[in-house]
Protein backbone atom coordinates (compact mmCIF):
# COMPACT_ATOMS: atom_id res chain seq x y z
CA UNK A 1 0.00 0.00 0.00
CA UNK A 2 1.46 3.37 -0.96
CA UNK A 3 1.59 6.23 1.48
CA UNK A 4 1.56 9.93 0.80
CA UNK A 5 5.34 9.94 1.26
CA UNK A 6 5.73 7.64 -1.76
CA UNK A 7 4.62 10.30 -4.25
CA UNK A 8 6.69 10.64 -7.39
CA UNK A 9 7.84 13.99 -8.70
CA UNK A 10 5.58 13.92 -11.75
CA UNK A 11 2.93 16.64 -11.67
CA UNK A 12 -0.40 16.52 -13.50
CA UNK A 13 0.56 18.93 -16.32
CA UNK A 14 3.61 16.80 -17.10
CA UNK A 15 1.50 13.68 -16.77
CA UNK A 16 -0.86 15.02 -19.41
CA UNK A 17 2.07 15.65 -21.75
CA UNK A 18 3.41 12.18 -21.13
CA UNK A 19 0.04 10.66 -21.93
CA UNK A 20 -0.18 12.52 -25.20
CA UNK A 21 3.38 11.55 -26.09
CA UNK A 22 2.70 7.93 -25.23
CA UNK A 23 -0.40 7.89 -27.39
CA UNK A 24 -2.82 6.88 -24.64
CA UNK A 25 -5.80 7.47 -26.90
CA UNK A 26 -4.57 4.64 -29.08
CA UNK A 27 -3.33 2.47 -26.21
CA UNK A 28 -6.08 -0.09 -26.57
CA UNK A 29 -6.56 0.15 -30.30
CA UNK A 30 -5.83 -3.55 -30.59
CA UNK A 31 -9.00 -4.19 -28.62
CA UNK A 32 -11.14 -2.88 -31.47
CA UNK A 33 -11.14 -6.19 -33.37
CA UNK A 34 -14.89 -6.61 -32.91
CA UNK A 35 -15.03 -9.84 -34.90
CA UNK A 36 -13.66 -11.81 -31.95
CA UNK A 37 -16.56 -10.90 -29.69
CA UNK A 38 -18.59 -13.95 -28.79
CA UNK A 39 -21.06 -12.39 -26.36
CA UNK A 40 -22.83 -9.20 -27.44
CA UNK A 41 -26.18 -9.16 -25.67
CA UNK A 42 -29.10 -7.16 -26.94
CA UNK A 43 -29.68 -3.64 -25.53
CA UNK A 44 -32.67 -5.01 -23.62
CA UNK A 45 -30.30 -7.02 -21.43
CA UNK A 46 -28.27 -3.99 -20.37
CA UNK A 47 -28.78 -2.50 -16.89
CA UNK A 48 -31.45 0.20 -16.65
CA UNK A 49 -29.90 3.63 -17.07
CA UNK A 50 -26.84 2.36 -18.93
CA UNK A 51 -24.58 4.00 -20.00
CA UNK A 52 -24.25 6.07 -16.82
CA UNK A 53 -24.69 9.85 -17.08
CA UNK A 54 -23.03 12.53 -14.98
CA UNK A 55 -25.42 13.87 -12.35
CA UNK A 56 -27.70 10.82 -12.58
CA UNK A 57 -28.06 7.83 -10.27
CA UNK A 58 -25.55 5.17 -11.25
CA UNK A 59 -27.08 1.99 -12.72
CA UNK A 60 -27.05 -0.75 -10.09
CA UNK A 61 -24.99 -3.16 -12.12
CA UNK A 62 -24.55 -6.79 -11.15
CA UNK A 63 -20.99 -8.05 -10.79
CA UNK A 64 -19.32 -11.42 -10.22
CA UNK A 65 -16.55 -11.92 -7.67
CA UNK A 66 -13.67 -14.40 -7.59
CA UNK A 67 -15.85 -16.98 -5.85
CA UNK A 68 -18.52 -16.76 -8.56
CA UNK A 69 -20.96 -14.93 -6.29
CA UNK A 70 -23.15 -12.23 -7.81
CA UNK A 71 -22.83 -8.81 -6.19
CA UNK A 72 -24.45 -5.40 -6.69
CA UNK A 73 -22.49 -2.18 -7.06
CA UNK A 74 -24.99 -0.55 -4.68
CA UNK A 75 -23.41 -2.55 -1.85
CA UNK A 76 -20.87 0.29 -1.78
CA UNK A 77 -23.48 3.06 -1.59
CA UNK A 78 -22.54 5.51 1.16
CA UNK A 79 -18.87 5.43 0.16
CA UNK A 80 -16.92 7.44 -2.39
CA UNK A 81 -16.60 4.88 -5.19
CA UNK A 82 -13.80 5.01 -7.73
CA UNK A 83 -14.87 2.63 -10.49
CA UNK A 84 -12.04 1.40 -12.72
CA UNK A 85 -13.31 -0.01 -16.04
CA UNK A 86 -10.77 -2.54 -17.28
CA UNK A 87 -9.92 -4.62 -20.32
CA UNK A 88 -7.45 -7.28 -19.23
CA UNK A 89 -5.40 -6.99 -22.44
CA UNK A 90 -5.49 -3.18 -22.48
CA UNK A 91 -1.93 -1.77 -22.06
CA UNK A 92 -3.16 1.35 -20.26
CA UNK A 93 -5.40 -0.67 -17.92
CA UNK A 94 -2.44 -2.86 -17.02
CA UNK A 95 -0.26 0.19 -16.37
CA UNK A 96 -2.86 1.84 -14.13
CA UNK A 97 -3.12 -1.44 -12.22
CA UNK A 98 0.59 -1.43 -11.41
CA UNK A 99 2.22 -3.23 -14.34
CA UNK A 100 5.24 -0.93 -14.28
CA UNK A 101 6.31 -2.69 -11.09
CA UNK A 102 4.57 -6.07 -11.35
CA UNK A 103 4.52 -6.66 -15.10
CA UNK A 104 1.49 -6.96 -17.32
CA UNK A 105 -1.16 -9.61 -16.88
CA UNK A 106 -0.33 -12.69 -18.99
CA UNK A 107 2.58 -10.85 -20.59
CA UNK A 108 0.64 -7.77 -21.74
CA UNK A 109 3.12 -4.94 -22.30
CA UNK A 110 1.97 -1.96 -20.22
CA UNK A 111 1.49 1.46 -21.78
CA UNK A 112 4.77 3.41 -21.58
CA UNK A 113 4.77 6.57 -19.50
CA UNK A 114 1.91 5.58 -17.22
CA UNK A 115 2.20 5.16 -13.45
CA UNK A 116 -0.19 3.20 -11.28
CA UNK A 117 -3.60 4.36 -10.07
CA UNK A 118 -2.16 4.57 -6.55
CA UNK A 119 0.67 6.86 -7.63
CA UNK A 120 -1.65 9.28 -9.41
CA UNK A 121 -4.12 9.19 -6.53
CA UNK A 122 -1.50 10.44 -4.10
CA UNK A 123 -0.18 13.05 -6.53
CA UNK A 124 -3.56 14.66 -7.09
CA UNK A 125 -5.81 14.24 -4.04
CA UNK A 126 -3.88 16.41 -1.56
CA UNK A 127 -3.75 14.25 1.52
CA UNK A 128 -6.51 11.71 0.90
CA UNK A 129 -5.62 8.12 1.73
CA UNK A 130 -6.56 4.91 -0.05
CA UNK A 131 -6.80 3.26 3.36
CA UNK A 132 -9.69 5.60 4.23
CA UNK A 133 -12.68 3.34 4.86
CA UNK A 134 -14.97 5.87 3.20
CA UNK A 135 -13.40 5.05 -0.18
CA UNK A 136 -14.08 1.94 -2.29
CA UNK A 137 -11.91 1.28 -5.33
CA UNK A 138 -13.92 -1.10 -7.51
CA UNK A 139 -11.96 -2.78 -10.30
CA UNK A 140 -14.54 -3.91 -12.87
CA UNK A 141 -13.09 -6.33 -15.43
CA UNK A 142 -15.19 -5.94 -18.58
CA UNK A 143 -13.14 -8.11 -20.95
CA UNK A 144 -10.55 -10.86 -20.67
CA UNK A 145 -7.71 -11.35 -23.15
CA UNK A 146 -10.09 -13.18 -25.51
CA UNK A 147 -12.53 -10.26 -25.42
CA UNK A 148 -15.09 -12.24 -23.45
CA UNK A 149 -16.52 -11.69 -19.98
CA UNK A 150 -13.84 -12.62 -17.41
CA UNK A 151 -14.48 -15.77 -15.41
CA UNK A 152 -14.26 -15.89 -11.59
CA UNK A 153 -10.87 -17.59 -11.99
CA UNK A 154 -9.63 -14.69 -14.10
CA UNK A 155 -10.91 -12.26 -11.49
CA UNK A 156 -8.81 -14.16 -8.96
CA UNK A 157 -5.77 -14.15 -11.25
CA UNK A 158 -5.96 -10.39 -11.86
CA UNK A 159 -6.38 -9.76 -8.15
CA UNK A 160 -3.36 -11.88 -7.25
CA UNK A 161 -1.16 -10.66 -10.10
CA UNK A 162 -1.50 -7.03 -9.06
CA UNK A 163 -1.74 -7.92 -5.35
CA UNK A 164 -4.99 -6.02 -4.99
CA UNK A 165 -5.98 -8.43 -2.21
CA UNK A 166 -3.21 -6.86 -0.14
CA UNK A 167 -4.66 -3.37 -0.45
CA UNK A 168 -7.45 -2.08 1.74
CA UNK A 169 -10.65 -0.90 0.06
CA UNK A 170 -9.79 -2.49 -3.31
CA UNK A 171 -12.33 -4.88 -4.83
CA UNK A 172 -12.22 -6.83 -8.09
CA UNK A 173 -15.21 -8.12 -10.07
CA UNK A 174 -16.20 -9.28 -13.53
CA UNK A 175 -18.94 -7.35 -15.27
CA UNK A 176 -20.28 -10.60 -16.71
CA UNK A 177 -21.55 -11.23 -20.23
CA UNK A 178 -24.12 -8.42 -20.04
CA UNK A 179 -21.42 -5.73 -19.93
CA UNK A 180 -18.95 -7.41 -22.31
CA UNK A 181 -20.31 -5.59 -25.36
CA UNK A 182 -18.72 -3.88 -28.31
CA UNK A 183 -20.23 -0.56 -27.23
CA UNK A 184 -18.69 -0.72 -23.78
CA UNK A 185 -15.22 -0.91 -25.30
CA UNK A 186 -15.57 2.87 -25.62
CA UNK A 187 -15.23 3.05 -21.82
CA UNK A 188 -11.75 1.50 -21.77
CA UNK A 189 -9.52 2.62 -20.11
CA UNK A 190 -11.95 4.21 -17.72
CA UNK A 191 -12.36 5.85 -14.35
CA UNK A 192 -15.69 6.99 -12.94
CA UNK A 193 -16.29 8.68 -9.60
CA UNK A 194 -19.56 7.90 -7.82
CA UNK A 195 -20.57 9.98 -4.81
CA UNK A 196 -21.92 8.53 -1.53
CA UNK A 197 -25.51 9.05 -2.69
CA UNK A 198 -24.73 6.76 -5.65
CA UNK A 199 -24.73 9.50 -8.30
CA UNK A 200 -22.11 9.66 -11.05
CA UNK A 201 -20.01 12.68 -10.10
CA UNK A 202 -17.11 12.57 -12.58
CA UNK A 203 -16.53 10.56 -15.75
CA UNK A 204 -13.02 10.07 -17.12
CA UNK A 205 -13.73 6.95 -19.14
CA UNK A 206 -12.70 6.00 -22.64
CA UNK A 207 -10.45 7.41 -25.34
CA UNK A 208 -12.24 10.76 -25.29
CA UNK A 209 -13.23 11.28 -21.63
CA UNK A 210 -15.80 13.87 -20.71
CA UNK A 211 -13.62 15.02 -17.81
CA UNK A 212 -9.89 14.93 -17.15
CA UNK A 213 -8.68 12.21 -14.80
CA UNK A 214 -5.92 14.30 -13.20
CA UNK A 215 -7.51 17.76 -13.14
CA UNK A 216 -11.14 16.79 -12.52
CA UNK A 217 -11.73 13.30 -11.14
CA UNK A 218 -8.93 12.72 -8.65
CA UNK A 219 -9.02 16.25 -7.14
CA UNK A 220 -12.80 15.88 -6.55
CA UNK A 221 -12.32 12.99 -4.12
CA UNK A 222 -11.29 15.04 -1.03
CA UNK A 223 -14.34 17.30 -1.41
CA UNK A 224 -16.66 14.28 -1.55
CA UNK A 225 -15.01 12.88 1.57
CA UNK A 226 -15.74 16.16 3.32
CA UNK A 227 -19.35 16.03 2.19
CA UNK A 228 -19.09 19.11 -0.04
Residue 29 lies in a domain: no
pLDDT digits (tens, 9 = 90+) for 154-194: 999 999 999 999 999 999 999 999 999 999 999 999 999 99
Domain that holds residue 78: 64-225
- Confidence at residue 228, expressed as pLDDT on a 0 to 100 scale: 62
Residue 14 lies in a domain: no
Taken in order 213, 8, 116, 71, the sign of the CA dihedral is negative
Residue 207 lies in a domain: yes
Question: Each residue of 177-195: b (16+ CB within 10 Å) or e?
Answer: ebbbbeebbebbbbbbbbb
- Confidence at residue 191, expressed as pLDDT on a 0 to 100 scale: 98
CATH code for the domain in which residue 207 is found: 3.40.30.10
Residue 158 lies in a domain: yes
pTM equals 0.84
Residue 142 lies in a domain: yes
Residue 111 lies in a domain: yes
pLDDT digits (tens, 9 = 90+) for 83-119: 999 999 999 999 999 999 999 999 999 999 999 999 9
> Based on the number of CB atoms within 10 Å of its own CB, is 45 exposed (0-12), middle (13-18) or buried (19 or more)?
exposed
Residue 26 lies in a domain: no
Number of domains into which the chain is organized: 1
Amino acid sequence: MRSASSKTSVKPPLVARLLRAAGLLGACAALSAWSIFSNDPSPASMPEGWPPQIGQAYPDIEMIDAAGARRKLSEFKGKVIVLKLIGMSCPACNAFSGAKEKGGYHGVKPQPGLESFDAYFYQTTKGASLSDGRIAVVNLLLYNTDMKAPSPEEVKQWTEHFKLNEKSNHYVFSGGAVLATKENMELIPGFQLIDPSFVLHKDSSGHHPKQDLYRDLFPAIPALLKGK
